[in-house]
Amino acid sequence: ILPASVPSRKTLAELVKNFKKSFKNASGSASSSPALTELLDAGRPLVRAFQTEVDALTKRCKTSDAAFTELYQNFFELPDPAGVLAAAEHAMDSYRDEVS
């Protein structure tokens, strides 16, 4: 978990908690205009916070995808080591036969 995501998650949890309280208060007051206004006022920051978190996750996803793609391309462009490894194995076998 990135260090920036922990406070963000705590903020979201607090906003959800406050929204739930506002929702309960609004439900108990028979949808009066002040209660509805309070509910809307509590909901706006919650929606903004979730949108900010989604934007941050999208940015992290794009960054990690780009890093993975770059790493994959670098490995893909490397020559196949099978020939070198086979030659090394053959050399080791020859050396073992000479020593034995």
What percent of the chain has pLDDT above 70?
A: 89
Residue 74 has what pLDDT? 93
As a whole number of angstroms, the distance between CA 84 and CA 98 comes to 21
As a whole number of angstroms, the distance between CA 38 and CA 29 comes to 11
Global confidence as pTM:
0.57
Residues of the chain with pLDDT under 50: none
